[in-house]
Amino acid sequence: MNSMRRLAFFAPLAATLAAAAMAQAQAPTVNVTVGPELQRQVEKLGDREVNEQIAGLQAEVGKALAQRYPGATANLILTDLKPNRPTWEQVRQTPGLDPINSISIGGAAIKGEIVTADGQTLPVNYSYFSPSINDVWGYSVWRDANRAFERFGDQIERGRF
């Protein structure tokens, strides 16, 4: 009788572990590299700032892939990245920049591919930049780049790629 109780305890645990393993196997992979043009700008923008943007892109794409293409792999190249306001590194290098009042057109450009779990390769080419300085809204340094990543994720979820 005691062994039956142990089995009753371990059966749900085993089912939970199996479900977790399947979910882990279905988790998407997002690889992001920096393109050569952007690589030349990283020192001016700041390594930390660019790495944070890469992490934001990975998070948005990972979430979108989990919804649309479970188990997929995205191999992306961040080809362009523009802040709306000066980064700390830009302010440090150019003292005349005002971190509050200096604004510019921001955004991001992404190329690459999505490889679905069944092996289908979907090419990716997406960019978003504010159309004009009048369209810049928000007070964040990376507002338009974040908007680009969000819109790119939405496009993936809708199956555009």
Task: Count other C-beta atoms under 10 Å from residue 6's C-beta.
Answer: 9
**Is residue 65 within 8 Å of 116, Cβ to Cβ?**
no
| Lookup: tokens for 115 | 């490889």
Q: What is the pLDDT of residues 1-36, one digit of tens each?
A: 555 555 555 556 555 554 444 445 579 999 999 999
Phi, psi for 150 (deg, rounded to 5): -65, -45
| Lookup: tokens for 19 | 């479900």
For 134-157, letters b (16+ CB in 10 Å) and e give eebeeeebbbbbbbbbebbbebbb
Beta strands, E only, the chain: 29-34, 73-82, 107-115, 121-129
Task: Count other C-beta atoms under 10 Å from residue 58's C-beta.
Answer: 18
Over 70: is that where the pLDDT of 93 sits?
A: yes
Q: What is the pLDDT of residues 124-151, one digit of tens each?
A: 999 999 888 877 777 799 999 999 999 9
Q: How confident is the model at residue 160 (pLDDT cuts 50, 70, 90)?
A: very high
Q: What is the pLDDT of residues 37-88, one digit of tens each?
A: 999 999 999 999 999 999 999 999 999 999 999 999 999 999 999 999 999 9
